[in-house]
Structure 1
Amino acid sequence: MSIVLDHQTALSAPNQFVKVGDRRIAYRRFGSGPDLVLCVRFRGTMDVWDPLFLDLLAENFTVTIFDYRGLGGSTGKASYAKADMAQDVDDLVTALGIEKLIIAGWSLGGFAAQVFAATRPEKVSHVLAIGTMPPGLMSKSFEKLFFETAWMREYGTREEYILFFEPDSARSRALADQSLARIAARSVVHDDPTDPQVFIDSVEANTDPSTPFPDPDGAYQAFYRSTDIPVLALSGDHDIIFPVENWYALNDQWPTLFVVTFPDSGHGPQHQYPALAADIIKSFVQNS
């Protein structure tokens, strides 16, 4: 069991590791309160989270971030298979002795979070789905611009605007600049870099042409139509890869689903509105 130090922050928390068979999982852990584990987005490692968002969460939760197998500081064969990402979560929380947790995921990490909850419901108190989509076919599809940008080997500020914010909004771009500056402020503890092609190859190997989040036998949808686990979806009003309309379509189908839409924002609403997002998450967990 790792020791959680309340004074550690997202920028100062050390890289730690747990051994799982012949591989290791890299993680950082800080804060105090109920356990909240966050699954990162496509092409993300621990370093891509906005530290302000994490620190605000850590005021009320013990926050754990980590790298999937073969990515960042974790070893093994890289995989974006939904079951593998969920297994990474299970391996990590088991090694840390966490018996009950709030599971959260951003973008592709939202798939991992939802699969983890659906396959290990006894370990989950709440699900946070951030800038992601529910399982099954899409009610509203993605925009080609996302893949044209996300598949670039390297990208800068302009691409960050496109991928995670609202590039046509001066306000969104200004808030994006603030978030990117906070992320760049990490000066002591860094994650291990991963070649962009590894990310791309990993997701392409697990791509289904019908939908980004396949549910071929309907098992995931069936679970969320009957579960008593509260689910909170946080989305921007113009998410070019996972439109919020996919959550609206479930308003009368998932009995525990809460949907929050952030205006003038895109695929990373928690980075554009870190304080509001953290406050909503706190209230959701405490009151649902």
Structure 2
Amino acid sequence: MSTTHQTAPTRFVDADGVTYAYRRFGRAGGTPLLMLQHFRGNLDNWDPALTDALAAEREVILVDYPGLGSSTGRPARTVAETARQIIAFADALGLAQVDLLGFSLGGFVAQDIALIRPHLVRRLVLAGTGPKGAPGMHGWRQDIADRARADEPGGEDLLYIFFAHTETSQAKGVEFLQRFMRREQDRDAPSSLTARDAQHDAVLEWGVPDHAALQRLTGITSPTLILQGDGDLMIPTKLSHLMAGLIPDARIRLYPDAAHAFLFQYPGEVADEVSRFLS
């Protein structure tokens, strides 16, 4: 039986004094897809319906940032530092080139990696994310922030933050909660409050209004796919259009009746879209 999201063992690799926890599964050969997670997210916060669908076409690599989940080290307080940490992880695995998918905070990190190490990134997928310094990026609206930064966020908090406040989207959210809790063996460690606070600093620093920072996007040379829900409650959807206009080789797709975690609401459709783009 082939390895899946549920059965892939947690592996470890050392780089620059950090032991990175990661999982690697799917069809070997070709360019692997490295996936970067959202605020406070660990290896188990990915939707197995999404990762397994992607892994049917290519090798998928999931990783915990330093100081989060089962990775050791100090959590970074800036996106730029996180980007260099992930580059060190890629070097430690001997990855000469990857396709890169960044979700939310992971999308911030992915943008910086594509600028710092352009030859590493063959193709770039930016999901539910936004550009540095853009209007509306400096922190989240209060109801979202309160739930995202809760000491122990529960299922109701995830449904509120991640899914549109409609009956249909919330029902899809409940299905996601059932899927991502299904793995019972070798589950990842929860992320600490120290990691939460460090990542929140990074999110706020990234969002400080800075019109000039938007010009950085014109330096991204990787073909880029931008995906988002049409009513994101965490990062304004209009910023996906802004990124699509500034990144030289970019295309955009919005998903209806969806908020921040559109990729967990439409895992099959998103996997198909991403696979077509990467192929």
How many angstroms apart in 2 are the aligned matches of 1:129 and 1:99? Answer: 20
Name the residue aligned to 2:240: 247
Relative to 1, partners in 2 of residues 1:97 and 1:260: Cα closer, same or farther, differing over 3 Å?
A: same
1:120-269 maps to which residues of 2 (within 5 A)? 120-138=117-135, 142-166=140-164, 168-195=165-192, 197-206=193-202, 208=204, 212=207, 218=213, 221-269=214-262
Measured on the aligned residues, the alpha-carbon RMSD in Å equals 2.0
Q: Is the 8 A contact 1:10 1:51 kept in 2?
A: yes
Q: CA 1:53 to 1:37, structure 2 compared with 1: closer, same or farther past 3 Å?
A: same
Counterpart secondary structure, 2:197: helix
Contact 1:34/1:60 (<8 A) preserved: no
Letter in 2 for 1:24: T
Distance 2:183 2:233 in 1: 28
Name the counterpart of 2:73: 76
TM-score, normalised on structure 2? 0.92
Q: Does the 8 Å CA contact 2:102/2:110 hold for their aligned counterparts? A: yes
Gaps of 5+ in 2: none
2:2 alignment partner in structure 1:
7
In structure 2, distance between residues paired with 1:80 and 1:277: 30
Deviates more, 1:221-230 or 1:151-160: 221-230
Q: Distance in 1 between matches of 2:211 and 2:137?
A: 18
Equivalence for 2:98: 101
Tell me the CA shift for residue 57 of structure 1: 0.5
Deviation at 1:180, TM superposition (A): 0.9
Looking at structure 2, the residues matched to 47 and 140 of structure 1 have their Cα atoms a distance apart, in angstroms, of 27
Tell whether 2:56 aligns with 1:59. yes
Q: Is 1:279 aligned with 2:279?
A: no
- Contact in 1 for aligned 2:226/2:244 (Cα 8 Å): no
The count of corresponding residues between Structure 1 and Structure 2 is 276
Query: What amino acid is the match of 1:39?
Result: L
Partners of 2:171 and 2:84 lie apart in 1 by 37
Q: Secondary structure at the match of 2:99?
A: strand
Q: Share of identical aligned residues, percent?
A: 31
Contact kept in structure 2, 1:208 and 1:214, CA below 8 Å? no
The answer to whether the 8 A contact 1:35-1:64 is kept is yes
Q: Give the equivalent residue in structure 2 for 1:22.
A: 17
CA deviation after TM superposition for structure 1 residue 10, in Å? 0.5
Question: What is the rounded CA distance, in whole Å, between the counterparts of 2:209 and 2:223 in structure 1?
Answer: 22
Cα gap change, 1:216/1:140 in structure 2, threshold over 3 Å: closer, same or farther? closer
1:35 matches 2:32:
yes
Q: CA deviation at 1:118?
A: 0.7
Q: Relative to total residues, which structure has the larger helix share, 1 or 2?
A: 2
Select the residue among 37, 41, 44 that pairs with 2:41. Answer: 44
Identify the range of structure 1 (246-255 vs 103-112) with the bigger mean alpha-carbon deviation. Answer: 246-255
5+ long unaligned stretches in structure 1 = 1-5
Q: 1:207 to 1:268 in 2, by over 3 A?
A: closer
| Structure 1 Cα separation of the partners of residues 108 and 212 of structure 2 | 16
The separation in 1 between residues aligned to 2:14 and 2:270, in whole angstroms, is 33
Q: Would you say the 8 A contact 1:172–1:264 is kept in 2? A: yes
How far apart in 2 are the matches of 1:216 and 1:109?
21
Q: Is the 8 A contact 1:26 1:73 kept in 2?
A: yes
